[in-house]
Structure 1
Amino acid sequence: MRILFICSQNKWRSLTAERLFDDHPHYEARSAGTEPGARVRVAAGHIGWAEIIFVMERRHADRIQEKFAEELRDKTVVVLRIPDKYPFGDSTLIALLRQKLTAHLLLLS
């Protein structure tokens, strides 16, 4: 399954989430950001590629809906409600991601 994680800058939250799935046998993950200065800025190709999209905040869902309404028509978008206060790889962020993702994905290995 192809999963996409989106936050603002694609430097902390979404990138940490993507790294949780490195070498996972069942999931292929990518990440992107909504802001102009993002490490990787979300594009229509990301949306089209993904089978499920996880955004960190409601505002990220709103932004991609405004820009990619057509591409999102048959996509599932899940708002994780994870605030922008954790640095990349933070153990609390990883635990929070694991907790919230288990409701939508098989348990992480």
Structure 2
Amino acid sequence: MEPKVKKGRAWTFHRLNAACDTPDGERVQAVLYPNDGQGFALYARQGQTLHAVTHDGRPVCFRTIEKALTTLADVTHLNPEIVVDSSNWREEVGPH
């Protein structure tokens, strides 16, 4: 079993790029959390720390996996294994 991950400070997308830009640095892995209403929220895991990735103070979200992959493909030295964590998945209730 993996050690528990702790939540770190939020990163901007620029900070994510900077953390990945050092080939000999600690690897960064993208983690996507699905949300039925907003798509996939982006987090970055570095070691045992998980950082929410934000833009203008709001979470970076992708409507589709394809959009996430297209965007993350441009992040140099990002761990190529991208995780989709569905542990807290819950489908939103539609209109009644």
TM-score if structure 1 supplies the norm length?
0.28
- TM-score under structure 2 normalisation? 0.30
Return the structure number with greater relative CO, CA threshold 8 A, min gap 6. 2
Structure (1/2) with the larger helix percentage: 1
Higher strand share: 2
